[in-house]
Amino acid sequence: MTSLPDPIDLATALIRAESVTPARGAVFDVLEAALLPLGFVVERFVEGEAPDGPVENLLAVRGGSARHLAFAGHVDVVPAGEGWSVSPWSGEVRGGLLYGRGAVDMKGAVAAFVTAAATTPGAVSLIITGDEEGPATYGTPRLIERMRDRGVAPDLCLVGEPTSVARLGDTVKIGRRGSVNMTIDVPGRQGHVAYPHLADNPIPRLVQALAAVDAVVLDDGNAWFQPSNIEVTDLHVGNPAANVIPAKASARLSIRFNDEQSGAALAERIAAIVHAHAPGAIVTPRISGEAFLTPPGAFSALVSDAIGEHTGLVPDLSTTGGTSDARFLSRLCPTVEFGLVNATMHQTDEAVAVDDLRALAAIYAGVITRACA
């Protein structure tokens, strides 16, 4: 393997291409221009309609070895927000840090992998979406469909999410918990508080249902996952008057669950509890993704070896954190996640250490070499 080019230039160009989710256009132009000279066949496509789209995706494939490594990531970012000390789209380097929305999550990792692929041979593909930070309706799931249509079947998949906690290389994700969000709407009948017999107050039924849901202990966790948890995240009545019994009361809850549960079973269980206290309630679940685990083995070992070669660290294998697109990709092949230090992702003045970005490119090159051997 020859010396790697510097990933800073590509990372800067990606940051300067503003791409709040769902992303299209300029940021994909930058990425495509970087990939074509490296021997990749690049396919871009746009799918979906508002409110979840339209979304642009990119699939880039290069042959060259018997074993095929896929790198998955996203170039869409969350809104910048206010209070930055630099322009969030400047890609400014100051004090050894590269600033900009997406520097950590995860344009930096995309740039690092492209840099690694520039001088490291092997069968490699990039699965890049413009909709990871949003609902992901037209993002990675549609890329997976396109891969099946094209006969692209990776043996291993590395997702470049920012998994490191205190130092680059200290954590690799080998799984993630699943997620179910649910809304509960309890109907009643509006009326004057002085004449309760002429009305039907939905609030007590909703409160009773939520108390019963809150008392549920789903599991105690296991060797790789923390316990599943249910959190009530919103209560809403919207009653503008103090002397009116409302016609409806609503709530939202979110469940993060491990591999002892399934989204559908949880939705059914919660609905049954709610209906026991509020028979007329409408319970609407949205399953964002199922839990997955890639048991420690050859793939996590080769990623750990590449990390150790360049940092001297032995990474923790973890399943903590929120969901990622690995929840979809894990259905294709063994999937792990590794990327930059996540301390500033989604924050004001998001920034990555330039030394970390260069080290990440070297680690990714080591992963390609080991995976495609």
Which tens digits make up the pLDDT trace of 110-140? 999 999 999 999 999 999 999 999 999 999 9
Query: How, if at all, do strands 191-192 and 244-245 pair?
Result: antiparallel
pLDDT band at 373 (very low <50, low <70, confident <90, very high): confident
Helix (H, G, I), strand (E, B) or coil at 373: coil
Return the pLDDT at 2.
61
Cα distances (angstroms) measured from residue 359 to each of 55, 65, 106, 110, 365? 31, 25, 15, 13, 10
Cα(67)–Cα(366) distance, integer angstroms = 15
Residue among 42, 51, 107, 100 at smallest CA distance from 74: 107
SS3 per residue for 160-200: CCCCECCCCCCEEECEECEEEEEEEEEECECEECCCHHHCE
32 counts as catalytic: no
Across the chain, mean pLDDT equals 96
Return the pLDDT at 322.
86
Return the pLDDT at 3.
75
Helix or strand (DSSP H, E) at 159: strand 156-159
149 counts as catalytic: no
pLDDT higher than threshold 70 for residue 1: no
pLDDT higher than threshold 80 for residue 26: yes
Residue among 39, 157, 28, 106 at smallest CA distance from 357: 106
pLDDT higher than threshold 90 for residue 82: yes
pLDDT higher than threshold 80 for residue 297: yes
For 1-21, give one letter per residue: b (16+ CB within 10 A) or e: eeebeebbebbbbbbbbbbbb
Return the pLDDT at 36.
97
What mean pLDDT comes out for the span 48-54? 91
* pLDDT tens sequence across 194-213: 999 999 999 999 999 999 99
* pLDDT tens sequence across 179-199: 999 999 999 999 999 999 999
Of the residues 56, 132, 290, 337, only one is catalytic, namely 132
Residue among 7, 13, 6 at smallest CA distance from 27: 13
Cα distances (angstroms) measured from residue 139 to each of 32, 76, 129, 146? 17, 10, 5, 11
Cα distances (angstroms) measured from residue 214 to each of 125, 233, 264, 288? 44, 12, 19, 21
What mean pLDDT comes out for the span 362-371? 98
Of the residues 47, 56, 76, 133, only one is catalytic, namely 76
Two tokens, residue 2: 């020859």
pLDDT band at 4 (very low <50, low <70, confident <90, very high): confident
